């Protein structure tokens, strides 16, 4: 063939190819408008409805030829089975349905693939345990393989991308869903169904970090059967890349503070009636958020079991997991329909430290620096035994010597048998100065009491620096724990053990020292919730700022007593320490009560009770309350002991000044009362004193004070401010009222002889300083008195008007250490006048009367 003929042939091929492309292009432009889409709309709707077994609705249909022939459906809704609700089973704004080309040659329309994007799918489970997908499989199973119509019954390839799967229980939509989901559903042949899914778990009521909730993947295949419950299936599910904190929020709606990476697998073979299940759960780096242990908790648990749907029973359950150098094995039967479960747990050289890590994982703040050694081995079996009532009745009465004598009922064995043995147990670190060692420790079942669950019990003896060791008995159940502690412990060892247990405010024990304390305590609570141990007041029989609890839920319960003898307690806001000769702490669910406390503080000796509330309901204040009693109390000594002294002339005042803190004194907020048989206020002595106080951070507010004084009664209120002056000295404010004062006793205070009827005085004064002279010099205020039928004698230059008078009423001003009479009025028979006088304050009070003017003239 010549080159010219080859060239002409090549040109003809290119020409025919161009004509074919032109025809195809013209067909794309011309054919769709010429095709009547409306005639296919009803056909497509009927076809999809027949394939899915559900009514289908759509708004419009458009023909698409590229990249392959098909239809674009708008606003597609697939109705729900009426037995599962009224909300659509599937809704999508835009759906692409591809056509099977070969079906067009046979003169009928068949859908090959249905693709949706950003669709919403509802999975519903009713009260009978059936899912709304059952009818979909049922429709396909019935229509598959029915002679010449078999092709029409084959489901099209269904696929959805970037969609959302909602989970409902009946008509209630649960907060759980799968987002960003890709799902495919198809039939490779009329006998089989396949499902493929990938999505991210989410909650609609919480904001979650979706990147940390993991990815769920599923591959499933199902085969045709006469009944849905008998359809053979194979399911593989994997949940990986899940962070434990976000996973906890996803499942329980809260973050308990767990961290780590989790991967789960599930493989199912069988059918809905009987399925063989294999699972695997792997966790890496499990720990609490607040600390990262050197060896975080890792595990790889595998389980196998057979599940019967009709009876809701689990058979031949076997789980095992390596842990450290040992292994855990769990076997059991969980029969349904009210039958009793049976199972056993076998431990083979499981490290004790693994149990400690597990406890720290569920318990916040439990011994982050604590290390444990030893191994646990043994086997515990659970098989509940139901005693025959007739056997119990017969065994309750046993004939002896021809008589029926009542005996104890037959003991019914508990459901737990076997036991564990802990070998080489040792606790160290976590603030322990010396380890706790126990060579062997048996953990055995205990028969359950009435209303109590089955439990394991262990008793251990811990030398703790006391005359007798601490005896600790632990009862461990699935729901929680119970601990009883009896014995003695040194304060230092008790401090270590309290911090070891993660008790809140355990550092308060640092301020107490003395002889060993005696404990008789019981603690119980669940495993998972955060511990709220109410031993906040063990450190101090007096007020502390940390002893004021806020409104916290307490799930752990502690009750019992702790006794102290010859202990010393020192607070930052006190100049010196308090010597506690004896004290008993009572603990219960609502409060910690110190009652009684016998103490000595410098020259002050008394008794006290202190109540620290534990559970408070916000926003009500939750303040400690105290009561103090004294036989005799000197106000000056009390001030010097609490606030220090400024006297420079004695050795003790210099020492107290050095001991006094330089920083501003901040007191803890409290409520309380003080009672004293005798209270010495300089030259004034009060009897039977009762007062109510409110201690704030800036001082003490005296809300009420009542006492007997100078033959009468005193009613007062006031405040002590710890540092409101420029020099940092304490300041006082007092508003008082005296009733029925005895003139003779009042006259003795100023070195005069007063007589007559009782009188009343009221006034208000402010003063500051440490010493009596400082207080007198700084005093300022006012007072008023009324005196009926009296007389004044003694001293010098007593006015004649005061020798005997019917009434004397006066107002006075206090300033600069002097009380000066101002407006006053004296009435005596046949005469009325005024008196000029003043009185000095301080250690030696003295009254001075002005000389009358007529007397001065004669002189």
pLDDT over 80 (residue 855): no
pLDDT tens track for 38-85? 566 677 777 778 767 788 888 877 777 666 677 788 888 888 888 888
606 shares a domain with 549: yes
Give residue 854's pLDDT. 41
What band does 375 get if pLDDT is binned at 50, 70 and 90?
very high
**Residue 710 and residue 758 in contact, taking contact as beta carbons nearer than 8 Å:** no
Which H helix or E strand runs over 393?
Answer: helix 389-396
pLDDT over 90, % of the chain? 17
Tell me the C-alpha distance between 533 and 554, whole Å: 8
pLDDT tens track for 294-333? 666 788 999 999 998 878 889 999 999 998 888 999 999 9
Tell me the C-alpha distance between 630 and 616, whole Å: 31
592 shares a domain with 448: no
- The gap between the terminal CA atoms of the chain, to the nearest Å, is 170
The DSSP-derived string for 175-204 is: EEEEEEEEEEEE-SSTTEEEEEEEEEEEET
Is 646 a member of any domain? no
pLDDT over 60 (residue 149): no
Task: Return the minimum-mean-pLDDT range out of 386-395, 468-477, 500-509, 771-780.
Answer: 386-395
CA distances from 120 to 87, 112, 181, 244 (A): 11, 21, 10, 28
Give residue 689's pLDDT. 92
pLDDT tens track for 322-345? 988 889 999 999 887 777 888 999
Average pLDDT score over residue span 382-404? 54
The range of the structural domain enclosing residue 840 comes to 742-859
- SS3 of 304-348: the string is EEEEECCCCEEEEEEEEEEECCEEEEEEEEECCCCCCCEEEEEEE
The DSSP-derived string for 715-734 is: EEEEEEESS-STT---EEEE
Between CA 612 and CA 623, with CA 597 as vertex, the angle to 5 degrees is 20
Which H helix or E strand runs over 39?
Answer: helix 38-52
Tell me the C-alpha distance between 334 and 315, whole Å: 6
283 shares a domain with 184: no
Is 256 a member of any domain? no
777 shares a domain with 857: yes
pLDDT tens track for 75-119? 888 888 888 888 888 888 888 877 765 555 555 666 778 888 888
534 shares a domain with 441: no
Task: Return the minimum-mean-pLDDT range out of 4-18, 158-172, 297-311, 814-828.
Answer: 4-18
Task: Tell me which range, 122-126, 326-330, 824-828, is most confidently predicted by mean pLDDT.
Answer: 326-330
166 shares a domain with 73: yes
pLDDT over 60 (residue 389): no
Give residue 148's pLDDT. 43
Give residue 197's pLDDT. 93
CA distances from 840 to 360, 492, 843 (A): 69, 55, 9
Task: Return the minimum-mean-pLDDT range out of 411-420, 550-559, 609-618.
Answer: 550-559
pLDDT tens track for 714-738? 999 988 887 655 556 778 888 999 9
Preceding amide of 343 cis, omega within 30:
no
Task: Return the minimum-mean-pLDDT range out of 554-558, 581-585, 740-744, 762-766.
Answer: 554-558
**Residue 166 and residue 90 in contact, taking contact as beta carbons nearer than 8 Å:** no
291 shares a domain with 420: yes
Return the structure tokens found at 536: 């906040």
Is 312 a member of any domain? yes
- Show which of 591, 622, 653 is a domain's final residue: 622
Is 712 a member of any domain? no
Is 639 a member of any domain? no
Average model confidence (pLDDT) across the chain = 77
Give residue 400's pLDDT. 46
Average pLDDT score over residue span 131-137? 74
pLDDT tens track for 607-655? 999 888 776 665 566 788 889 999 988 877 776 666 655 444 443 444 4
pLDDT over 50 (residue 554): no
Is 89 a member of any domain? yes
380 shares a domain with 505: no
Is 402 a member of any domain? no
What band does 31 get if pLDDT is binned at 50, 70 and 90?
very low
Q: Which residue is associated with the tokens 């908790």? A: 297
Q: Identify any residues that bridge with 840 across adjacent strands, giving them in sequence order.
A: 818, 846
Give residue 386's pLDDT. 60
**Residue 495 and residue 508 in contact, taking contact as beta carbons nearer than 8 Å:** no
Of residues 96 and 690, more confidence is placed in 690
Tell me the C-alpha distance between 769 and 647, whole Å: 11
Give residue 629's pLDDT. 93
Give residue 551's pLDDT. 35
Give residue 71's pLDDT. 77
**Residue 47 and residue 9 in contact, taking contact as beta carbons nearer than 8 Å:** no
Of residues 26 and 70, more confidence is placed in 70
Give residue 102's pLDDT. 55
pLDDT tens track for 515-543? 998 989 888 888 765 544 444 333 344 44
3-state SS assignment for residue 139: helix
Contacts of 34 (CB under 8 A, 6+ apart): none
For β-strands 436-446 and 455-462, DSSP reports them as antiparallel
**Residue 426 and residue 440 in contact, taking contact as beta carbons nearer than 8 Å:** no
489 shares a domain with 595: yes
Q: What number of CA atoms fall less than 13 Å from residue 495's CA on the CB side?
A: 16
- Show which of 607, 622, 637 is a domain's final residue: 622
Task: Tell me which range, 37-41, 49-53, 226-230, 815-819, is most confidently predicted by mean pLDDT.
Answer: 815-819
Rg of the chain over Cα atoms, rounded to whole angstroms, equals 45
pLDDT tens track for 279-293? 999 988 877 776 666
Contacts of 177 (CB under 8 A, 6+ apart): 164, 165, 166, 167, 201, 202, 203, 204
pLDDT tens track for 746-804? 888 878 888 988 889 999 998 887 777 777 788 889 999 898 888 988 766 788 888 88
548 shares a domain with 438: no
3-state SS assignment for residue 832: strand
pTM of the model: 0.65
- What number of H helices and E strands is found in the chain? 14, 45
CA 466 to chain centre: 34
DSSP-based helix, strand, coil % in the chain, nearest 5: 20, 50, 30
How many structural domains compose the chain? 4
pLDDT over 70 (residue 369): yes
Residue 312 neighbours by CB distance under 10 Å:
12
For β-strands 416-429 and 370-383, DSSP reports them as antiparallel
Of residues 830 and 327, more confidence is placed in 327
444 shares a domain with 485: no
Give residue 266's pLDDT. 94
Give residue 747's pLDDT. 85
Which H helix or E strand runs over 25?
Answer: helix 3-34
pLDDT over 50 (residue 401): no
- Show which of 137, 162, 190 is a domain's final residue: 190
Contacts of 366 (CB under 8 A, 6+ apart): 359, 360, 501, 502, 531
Give residue 174's pLDDT. 86
pLDDT over 90 (residue 713): yes
Return the structure tokens found at 244: 């434990």
160 shares a domain with 59: yes
Is 681 a member of any domain? no
Average pLDDT score over residue span 408-416? 59
What band does 199 get if pLDDT is binned at 50, 70 and 90?
very high
């Amino acid at each position: 063939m010549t080159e010219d003929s080859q060239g002409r042939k090549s040109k003809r091929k290119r020409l025919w190819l161009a004509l074919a492309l032109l025809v195809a292009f013209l067909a794309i432009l011309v054919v769709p408008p010429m095709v009547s889409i409306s005639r296919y709309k009803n056909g497509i709707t009927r076809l999809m409805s027949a394939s899915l077994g559900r009514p289908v609705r759509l708004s419009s249909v458009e023909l698409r030829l590229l990249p392959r022939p098909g239809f674009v459906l708008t606003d597609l809704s697939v109705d729900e089975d009426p037995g599962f609700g009224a909300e659509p089973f599937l809704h999508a704004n835009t759906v692409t349905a591809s056509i099977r080309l070969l079906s067009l040659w046979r003169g009928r329309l068949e859908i090959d693939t249905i693709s949706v994007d950003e669709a919403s799918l509802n999975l519903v489970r009713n009260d009978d345990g059936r899912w709304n997908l059952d009818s979909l499989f049922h429709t396909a199973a019935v229509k598959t393989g029915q002679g010449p119509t078999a092709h029409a019954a084959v489901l099209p390839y269904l696929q959805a991308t970037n969609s959302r799967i909602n989970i409902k229980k009946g008509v209630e939509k649960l907060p759980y869903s799968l987002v960003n989901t890709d799902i495919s559903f198809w039939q490779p042949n009329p006998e089989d169904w396949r499902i493929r899914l990938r999505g991210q778990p989410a909650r609609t009521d919480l904001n979650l970090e979706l990147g940390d909730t993991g990815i769920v993947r599923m591959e499933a295949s199902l085969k045709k059967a006469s009944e849905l419950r008998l359809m053979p299936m194979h399911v593989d599910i994997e949940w990986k890349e899940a962070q434990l904190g976000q996973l906890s929020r996803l499942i329980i709606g809260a973050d308990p503070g767990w961290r780590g990476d989790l991967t789960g697998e599930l493989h199912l073979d069988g059918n809905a009636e009987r399925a063989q299940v294999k699972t695997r759960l792997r966790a890496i780096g499990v720990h609490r958020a607040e600390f990262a242990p050197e060896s975080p908790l890792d595990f790889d648990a595998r389980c196998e079991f057979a599940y019967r749907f009709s009876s809701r029973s689990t058979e031949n359950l076997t789980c095992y997991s390596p842990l450290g150098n040992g292994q855990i094995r769990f076997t059991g039967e969980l029969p349904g329909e009210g039958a009793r479960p049976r199972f056993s747990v076998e431990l083979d050289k499981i490290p004790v430290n693994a149990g400690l890590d597990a406890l720290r994982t569920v318990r916040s703040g439990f011994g982050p620096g604590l290390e444990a050694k030893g191994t646990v081995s043994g086997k515990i079996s659970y098989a509940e035994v139901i005693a025959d009532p007739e056997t119990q009745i017969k065994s309750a009465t046993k004939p002896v010597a021809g008589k029926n004598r009542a005996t104890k009922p037959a003991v019914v064995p508990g459901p737990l048998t076997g036991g564990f043995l802990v070998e080489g147990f040792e606790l160290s670190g976590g603030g322990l100065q010396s380890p706790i060692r126990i060579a062997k420790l048996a953990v055995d079942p205990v028969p359950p009491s009435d209303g109590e669950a089955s439990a394991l019990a262990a008793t251990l003896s811990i030398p703790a620096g006391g005359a007798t060791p601490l005896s600790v008995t632990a009862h461990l159940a699935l729901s929680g724990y119970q601990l009883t502690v009896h014995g003695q412990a040194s304060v230092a060892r008790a401090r270590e053990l309290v911090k070891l247990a993660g008790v809140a405010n355990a550092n308060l024990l640092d301020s107490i020292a003395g002889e060993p304390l005696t404990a008789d305590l019981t603690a119980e609570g669940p495993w998972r919730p955060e511990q709220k141990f109410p031993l906040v007041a063990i450190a101090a029989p007096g007020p502390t700022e940390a002893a004021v609890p806020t409104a916290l839920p307490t799930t752990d319960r502690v009750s019992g007593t702790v006794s102290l003898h010859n202990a010393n307690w020192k607070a930052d806001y006190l100049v010196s320490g308090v010597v506690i000769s004896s004290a008993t702490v009572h603990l219960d669910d609502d409060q910690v009560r110190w009652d009684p406390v016998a103490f000595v503080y410098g020259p002050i000796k008394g008794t006290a009770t202190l109540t620290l509330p534990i559970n408070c309901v916000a926003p009500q204040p939750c303040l400690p309350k105290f009561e103090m009693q004294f036989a005799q109390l000197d106000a000056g000594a009390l001030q010097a002991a609490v606030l220090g002294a400024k006297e420079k002339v004695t050795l003790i005042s210099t020492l107290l000044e050095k001991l006094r803190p330089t920083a501003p004194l901040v007191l803890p907020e409290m409520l309380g009362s003080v009672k004293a048989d005798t209270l010495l206020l300089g030259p004034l002595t009060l009897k039977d004193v009762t007062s109510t106080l409110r201690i704030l951070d800036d001082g003490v507010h005296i809300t009420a004070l009542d006492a007997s004084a100078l033959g009468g009664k005193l009613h007062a209120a006031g405040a002590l401010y710890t540092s409101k002056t420029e020099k940092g000295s304490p300041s006082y404010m007092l508003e008082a009222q005296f009733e029925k004062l005895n003139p003779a006793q009042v006259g003795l205070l100023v070195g005069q002889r007063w007589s007559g009827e009782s009188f009343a005085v009221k006034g208000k004064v402010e003063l500051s300083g440490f010493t009596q002279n400082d207080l007198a010099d700084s005093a300022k205020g006012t007072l008023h008195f009324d005196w009926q039928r009296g007389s004044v004698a003694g001293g010098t230059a007593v006015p004649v008007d005061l020798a005997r008078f019917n009434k004397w009423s006066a107002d006075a001003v206090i300033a600069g250490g002097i009380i000066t009479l101002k407006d006053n009025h004296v009435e005596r028979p046949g005469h009325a006048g005024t008196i000029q006088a003043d009185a000095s304050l301080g250690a030696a009070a003295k009254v001075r009367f002005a000389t009358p003017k007529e007397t001065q003239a004669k002189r």
